Structure 1
Amino acid sequence: MSYIPYGRQHITPEDIQAVVDVLQSDYITQGPTIQAFEQTVAQYCGARYAVAMSNATAALHIACLVADMGPGDRLWTSPNTFVASANCGLYCGATVDFVDIDPKTYNMSVSALEEKLIQAQKSGTLPKIIVPVHFSGQSCEMQAISTLAKQYGITVLEDAAHAIGGDYQGHKIGGCQYSDMTVFSFHPVKIITTGEGGMVLTNRKDLYEKLCRLRSHGVTRDKALLQNAQEGAWYYEQQELGFNYRMTDIQAALGVSQMKRLDEFVDRRRVLASQYDALLKDLPLKTPWQHPDTASSFHLYVIQLDKAIRRQVFDAMRAQEVGVHVHYIPVHTQPYYQDLGFKPGDFPYSEQYYQQALSLPLYYDLTDAQQQQVVHTLTKALQAAEIKV
C-alpha cells in the first residue's frame, strides 16, 4: 500500500519546461518572469499590485513593516494558524494577541473581535494590525472585520496562505476589497506552488512602492524616488533598512505555469471535498461547515472527532499509510508564547477545536480510489476505537 500524504504538489512537463526555459535565459533572478508572475496573480485576484517574496513568512513580515508596525504597537490574529501569522508582529518589535475562533468556521470570530475591541479601546490597547487567517481556504467574514477595523482605525492584513483561488461574496480572495493587503503562500502543499514563495497584494500605490523597496534591501533605482537623480545609470540608493526577500525567476516561472491551472486545481479540490461530505455523512464525526458568503479553495479538509479517540484514530490511520495531519496547535499554547504570558484556557474555542481536529488527505492528484481508501481506513479506525459505525 503506497503512502497517501495529506497534501502535495502537482507538477507537469509544462511546469518543468517553464523552469528550464528560464534556466536557459539571460535572467534566473531579478528578471522579467517575476513581474509576469506578479501581474498574473494580481489580474486573477482583481488587485492593482502584487509583490512576489521568498516565502509567505517574509511577506507577512514586510507587510507589517509597510504598515509602520513597531515597538509599542499590537497585532491581533487567530490562535488557529501556523506560528508565522503571529511571529510577523514580534519581528517588528510589536506585542501579539489573539482573537478566538468561531466554532463553526474555525476562523476569527467577528463577535469575539468586536467584544475585544470594545475592551481594548477602554484600556488604550487597540491593535495597529489585525491579521484574519482564511483557515483551510475559507475566507473570514471580511466585510464585518473591515467595518470594525475602519471604526477603530486598524490596518487589515489578510493571511490567505491557504486561500488562493477561493471566493468571498463572489469575488476572488486577494482583491483586497476589505483589507489593506493580502498574503499568499506557494509552499508545495498549497493550492499552487513555486517550491517556496509568497506574495503580497494591495490596491495602494504607497504600500506597493514600499513593499518593493523593503523586499530588496531598502534599495531603489527609480529616478522619481532618488535624492540624487542626476547620477548615472549605475546609481542606486538605500533609503531605508530592508531585506533580501526576493523570489527568483526560476520560482516565478513555475508560478506562472501553475497559475494556468489554478481554477482546475480548485475545482478538483472542491469535488473531493464534496465527495468527502457524502462519504462521511453517516460516520460519528463533524465535517467542515461552509459560510454562505464563501467558496473555499479547500487547502485542507478538517473533520472533528471525539477528543478521547483523536490520537488513536490518527495513529491507526498513519499505521495504514494514510497521512492524516492536525492543523493547528493553537499558537498561544506554544512554549515560546507561554513564556510571553499566554496560557491554556485563554482562547477556549481554538483549544477545543484543536483537541478534536483531524486533517484528511486532500490534493489535486488524490484519486477517487485513494479517497475511498482514506474513508475505509477512517471507518476501521473508528470501529477499533469502539465507536459505533
Structure 2
Amino acid sequence: MIPYGRQSIGQEDIDAVSSVLRSDFLTQGPVVPAFEEAVAHRVGAAHAVAVNSATGALHIACLALGLGPGQSLWTVPNTFVASANCARYCGADVDFVDIDPLTWNMSVSALSKKLEQARLAGTLPSVVVPVHFSGLPTEQAAIWNLAQEYGFKVIEDASHAIGASFLGEAVGSCRWSHITVFSFHPVKIITSGEGGMALTNDAALAESMRRLRSHGITRDDSTFSQPSPGPWYYEQQGLGFNYRMTDIHAALGLSQLTHLEPFVAARNALARRYDVLLEELPLQRQRVMEGNVSAYHLYVVRILAGSPPGAQRRLYDALRERGIGVNVHYAPVHLQPYYRALGFGSGYCPEGEWHGSSAITLPLYPALTNVEQDEVVRALRDVL
C-alpha cells in the first residue's frame, strides 16, 4: 500500500531524541524553548508557545482571546473537527462559512456577506478561524481587513501550512492574525511525534497561553498576588490544563525543522508533477493563487460535478484495492452527528458539502518516488 502520507525520519532525528533520553530532562527542559525560538524565528513571529497538539493550541488560543459562553466562533466545514471543537471547549457557539469553489479555503465573499447579515442581526462572531486547507494559505489580508471592520479576532489554523507563504510572507508571522496554530502530527510537514504550537506577536497573549498550557500556573514573581516565600513558590492564577510539550517531542521537532525547506520543496515538486500527469483526467485540482506558496500537506483532487451518484466511494474503493492508500479530507464538520444535534444540516454549506462528497486525497510525502507516483496516476487513470 502506498499511503496518502508518511513521516520522513532520518538518523539525525533519532540522534536528537536519543540525546534527550540521555540527558537530565525528559519533560520541561531546555529543548522546548529552543524549539519555540527556532520556529518563531523561521516564520517571523515574536512569540511561540509549544503544546501537546494543535488541538490544545487552538483551545488555549481561544481562551487567551477571551472566547466564552454567549460568544461565537466561525470556521469552515472542510477541516478537522478540532477547528470547531475548540469553541465548544470554551462554552461558545460555532457557525460555518462556506468555502471558495476554486481554492477550497474560506470564501471571503461568503464571509463578507455572512458578517453583514450578522451585524444587522446583532450576532457577529468573536473569533474567526480560517483554515489553510492542504497547506494553501487563505486570503488572509482580506480576512484581516474584515476583522478590522467587524471587530472579530483571527486565529489562523495553519495545521497544514508550516513552510507555506502568502504574498512573500511566511505563514505564522501573524501579520494578518492575532494567533497562528501549527500542527506537528506525524503526517504533517514536520513532526514532533505529536505536538502543536501557537504563534503570536502579542506578548500578553503569549503569556496567557503559557499559563493556560500548564494548569494556569506562573513562576513569574512580578505577577504574584503576595510576596514570594521562597524560590520554590508558584501561583495558580487561573484554570489551566496540562497541554505541555516534552523535551523528547521538541527534540524531534527541532531536528525536523532543519529539513523544512527541502521537505516543502519536495512536496511542491511532486504536486507540480501530479498537475502535469493529471491534466487530461476529469478531475478538479486546487487552485493556488498567484503569490502563494503551498506547503502541500495534502494533494487533493475532486471528481467533477455531474459524476454519477456514489462515484467518490467507487473511486476510493477501487484505488484502495490496487494498493493506493487514498483518503478523504474532509467530511463536512457541520454534518457530523454532534453538530447536526446543534441544528446544522444538509444544504447549510453547499460548496463544503460538495467537497466532502467529491474529494479524494492522493499520496504525497517527500519520500514518494516518481515510480510510485506513476503507479498512483496509472491506477487513477484506469479506474476513471
Equivalent residues of 2:104, 2:286 under 8 A apart: no
SS in 2 for 1:86: helix
Deviations along 1:307-364, one digit per CA (max 9) or x if unpaired, are: 4322111111100110011100111111110000000000101111221111100001
- Residues 1:170 and 2:168 are matched in the alignment: yes
Unaligned stretches of 5+ residues in structure 1 = 383-389
Unaligned stretches of 5+ residues in structure 2 = none
SS in 2 for 1:161: coil
Which residue matches 1:38? 36
User: Residue type of the partner of 1:178?
Assistant: W
SS in 2 for 1:179: coil
Find the aligned partners of 1:349 and 1:106 in 2 and give their Cα distance.
9
Deviations along 1:170-215, one digit per CA (max 9) or x if unpaired, are: 0110000000000000000100001110000000000000000000
Which residue matches 1:358? 360
Which residue matches 2:228? 230
Pairwise CA distance, 1:104: 0.4
- Residues 1:282 and 2:280 are matched in the alignment: yes
Find the aligned partners of 1:126 and 1:200 in 2 and give their Cα distance.
25
Find the aligned partners of 2:262 and 2:172 in 1 and give their Cα distance.
18
How many residues are treated as equivalent by the alignment? Answer: 380
Pairwise CA distance, 1:86: 0.2
Moved over 3 A (4+): none
Equivalent residues of 2:101, 2:351 under 8 A apart: yes
Matches within 5 A, 1:51-62: 51-62=49-60
Aligned partner (choices 171, 176, 179) of residue 177 of structure 2: 179
Deviations along 1:216-240, one digit per CA (max 9) or x if unpaired, are: 0000001121122432100000000
Equivalent residues of 2:61, 2:198 under 8 A apart: yes
Find the aligned partners of 1:94 and 1:184 in 2 and give their Cα distance.
22
Tell which deviates more after alignment, 347-356 or 332-341: 347-356
Which residue matches 1:332? 334
SS in 2 for 1:286: strand
Pairwise CA distance, 1:73: 0.5
User: Residue type of the partner of 2:72?
Assistant: R
Which residue matches 2:100? 102
Matches within 5 A, 1:65-76: 65-76=63-74
Find the aligned partners of 1:372 and 1:99 in 2 and give their Cα distance.
37
Which residue matches 1:386? none
Find the aligned partners of 1:61 and 1:185 in 2 and give their Cα distance.
13
User: Residue type of the partner of 2:50?
Assistant: A
User: Residue type of the partner of 2:225?
Assistant: Q
Equivalent residues of 2:163, 2:171 under 8 A apart: yes
User: Residue type of the partner of 1:223?
Assistant: D
Deviations along 1:264-299, one digit per CA (max 9) or x if unpaired, are: 000000000000000011111122211113110000
Pairwise CA distance, 1:114: 0.4
Which residue matches 2:351? 349
Tell which deviates more after alignment, 346-355 or 300-309: 300-309
Matches within 5 A, 1:83-102: 83-102=81-100
Find the aligned partners of 2:67 and 2:176 in 1 and give their Cα distance.
20
SS in 1 for 2:28: coil
Across the aligned residues of Structure 1 and Structure 2, the Cα RMSD in angstroms comes to 0.7
User: Residue type of the partner of 1:372?
Assistant: D
Equivalent residues of 2:13, 2:252 under 8 A apart: yes
TM-score, structure 1 normalization: 0.97
Find the aligned partners of 2:84 and 2:285 in 1 and give their Cα distance.
27
Find the aligned partners of 1:86 and 1:230 in 2 and give their Cα distance.
40
TM-score, structure 2 normalization: 0.98
SS in 1 for 2:156: strand
SS in 2 for 1:200: strand
Aligned partner (choices 155, 159, 172) of residue 157 of structure 1: 155
Find the aligned partners of 1:117 and 1:213 in 2 and give their Cα distance.
33
- Residues 1:144 and 2:142 are matched in the alignment: yes
Find the aligned partners of 2:276 and 2:47 in 1 and give their Cα distance.
40
Instruction: Name the CA shift for 1:364/1:231 in 2 (closer, same or farther; >3 Å).
Output: same
Find the aligned partners of 1:212 and 1:250 in 2 and give their Cα distance.
19
Find the aligned partners of 1:170 and 1:32 in 2 and give their Cα distance.
32
